Amino acid sequence: MDKAAAARRIEELKREIARHDYLYYVLDSPEISDEEYDALMRELRALEEAYPDLRTPDSPTQRVGGMPVDEFEHVVHEVPMLSLDNVFDLGELKSFCDRVSRALKEEVSYTAELKIDGVAVSLIYEDGVFVRGSTRGDGRVGEDVTANLRTVKSMPLRLMKPVSGRLEVRGEVYMQKKDFAELNAQREEEGEPLFANPRNAAAGSLRQLDPSITAKRHLRVFVYQAVNAVQRGLKSQYEVLQWLKGLGLPTQGTERLCDSFDELTKYIDEWREKRFALPYVTDGVVVKVDDLAKQEILGTTAKAPRWAVAFKYPAEEKRTRVKDIEISVGRTGALTPVAILEPVRLSGTIVQRASLHNEDEIRRKDVRVGDYVWVRKAGEIIPEVVRVDKEARREGSPPFEMPKECPACGSSVVRLPGEAAHRCLNRSCPAQIKEGLKHFASRSGMDIQGLGEKLIDQLVEKGFIRDIADLYTLSEEELASLERMGKKSAQNLIRALEASKNRPLANLIYALGIRYVGSRVAELLAENFGSLERLMEATEEEILQIEGIGPRIASSVVSFFRDEANRRTIERLIALGVKTRLERPALEKDVWRGLRFVFTGELERATRLEAENIVKSLGGQVSSDVSRKTSYVVVGKNPGSKLERAVNLGVKTIDEDSFWRMVEEAKEG
C-alpha cells in the first residue's frame, strides 16, 4: 500500500474506531465483537508504524502513549470553574427559586440534571481535536492531566461533527460502581488501602503521574457545559446538552426541562430511589436556570453561580441486626469476617451482608452476634457497619473471636507478625483455589471470557481443577457435562482459554496472584526481566534494582517462586503453551547496551513511547527516575524536576536534537 492509500485507510479506521467507541462506551450498544474491534486497532497500528508521520494526536492508538511525568503542569482557567452551592431540602430549593424570580422579576424555566459524584474537568478541542484537559483545582488554576484524560475511552479525541476554533467543555470524570468494587477488592487482596468511594477512586486515578495506571482504572466522563455557548448560537442549557450530544460527547441523558418548582419537585422525587439502579453514583440533582442570557444577568459570587444550585439527597443509614458473623477465605488465604444481617433496604437494594474486614476492625467497632447496628453503603455500593447500638445489646453477649481453623479446609489459622489478617496457609484449600482462579481469569489477568464464579465453583467441586494449570487441560466433554453448559458454551470457553495463552507477560505475572504484585508492578517485572523463566530465578537484590519496587514486594516475589508447588504449576503452564516472554521492539543493533536513558519534558519529533522503543531497539534501557546509574537525561520542552535532579547528581543532559543525532550515529555505526 502506497502512502496516499495508507493515509486514506488510516482516516477510515480512525473514524470507524471512534464510532465503535461511542457505541460501546457512550450508548452501551456495541455493533461488533471485541475480536473485530481488536482487528481494526491492529490494522491501524500497523499502518501507523509503517508511516509514522501519518500518526496524529487524535488517533485511538495514542490513548495511552505518554511516559510518566514528575509533576503536573498548572493550567489557568480563562473562565473560572466555580463550585455549586448546596441545598438539602425542598424548602431551601424553593428559597433559591424565589431569589431567582425576584432578581429577574419573572418566573423562569430550569434544567434539572442528576449530579454525578465525580471529579470536575475542563476539556479543550481545537478545530474538533482534543488538545488539553485539566482538573478544576482551586477553580482558577488546575492541573494539566491531558495524557490521563486521553485514556478515558468514552471521551472522543476528535468530535463527530466539525467545530471551528477553540471549544471548551466541562464535565465530570467518574468511575462506575462495578469498576470501583473490583478496584477495591484488588487493593484489599494486595494489602493496599481502600478508596472510600468512587469519587475518591476517580480523583486518585486521574491524578496518577503514570497514564498507564490511569488507563487500567476504566474511568468515564459526562459533559454538561460548553463555555461561552452563546457565541455558538446556543440559547439554553437544555439546548447545550443536545448540541454536545450531537458532537459525540457523552452526556448523561437524564436532563429534564422544568417550567415550575412543582416540576422540579417531581423530578427530584422520581430519581430519589430510581438513581440507585444507575451504574454510577449520583448524590443529588443540579438545578440550572435554563436561559443562558438570564444566567448572564444573574452572574456569580466569588465561589458559585447565582443561577444554579445542587440539591443533595440525604445520606442513607439504617438500623438492623447482626444475625451471625461468618468467615470467607480469599485467594491469599486471608480470613475475612462478614456480618450476616437481617435484610434491610439500602440505596435501592436489599443488603444482607457487610464485610468487617479483620479482627482489629471488629475490635475497634466492637461488633458482636446479635447486636443492632447502623449500616450504610460506602459510595452507594459497598455495605459497611457504621456503628453499634450498644444500648440495645443483650446482656452477656460475648465478643467475637476469630477461628483457630480454616472453615473451608480445617487447616490451622495463623496471624503473621505485622499483619491485620488471619491466614490459612494450606495452598490446596478449595476456597483459595476458587478465589485464585477468579483472579487468574480476571480482566487484568488472563481475561478469560466466560469463566465466571459459578462455573469455577463447579470445576473445583467436581475435582476437574486443582490448580490454575488444570484450566488448560479441560475438554469440551468435561465442560459440557456441567450445569448450564451446553456444547456451544463449552466450545466458546475452550476458544477463550486458547486465546488467553497469548496474553502479555505482565498479565500472566499479575494473574499468578503473587502477594503485593498489582498490575503496575507486574509491568515493571515483565519489562525488566523479559520472561517468566528469568523472573523465577531472580534474587531479591536484582528485583530491588527496579525503581518503584521495595523490599516487601521483592521478598514476596522471591518467596512465591521458591515454592515448589508454584514452580510445578508454572512448568505445566509453559508445557501447555502459555506465552511467558515479553514481546520487545526488534533489536536493530546492540550498540547502547549498558546505557540508561531518562526523558523529561515534551518531545517534538516523536512521542515518549516511540523514543523509548528506539532506545530499546538499540539495546539501551529506559527509566522513569534519575539516579546515579542514569547515562543520559534527554530534555524536551517544559522539563520537570528530573532535570534539576540530573544536575544535582552530575548526570549528563542532552537536548532532543542531540538525542536524534545519537540515534542516527548508532544506526549508521
Element (H, E) at 183: helix 177-189
Q: Determine the Cα–Cα distance for residues 92 and 311; give it in Å rounded to an integer.
A: 9
Residues 110/256, Cβ–Cβ less than 8 Å: no
Q: Determine the Cα–Cα distance for residues 504 and 531; give it in Å rounded to an integer.
A: 10
Residues 248/156, Cβ–Cβ less than 8 Å: yes
CB atoms within 10 A of CB 664: 10
Distances (CA, A) of 652 to 70, 170, 361, 475: 18, 42, 51, 58
377 labelled catalytic: no
Q: Determine the Cα–Cα distance for residues 533 and 56; give it in Å rounded to an integer.
A: 38
Residues 55/613, Cβ–Cβ less than 8 Å: no
Contacts 24+ apart (CB under 8 A), 186-194: 186/444, 186/518, 187/518, 189/330, 189/331, 189/332, 189/334, 189/439, 190/515, 190/516, 190/517, 190/518, 191/515, 191/516, 192/518
Q: How far is CA 402 from the centre of its chain?
A: 34
Give the CA count within 13 Å in the CB-facing half-sphere of 565: 8
Residues 245/211, Cβ–Cβ less than 8 Å: no
* Closest among 174, 270, 283 to 220, alpha carbons compared: 174
Tell me which of 14, 115, 438, 616 is the catalytic residue: 115
Residues 520/624, Cβ–Cβ less than 8 Å: no
583: exposed, middle or buried (C-beta count within 10 Å: 0-12, 13-18, 19+)?
exposed
Which of the residues are catalytic?
Answer: 115
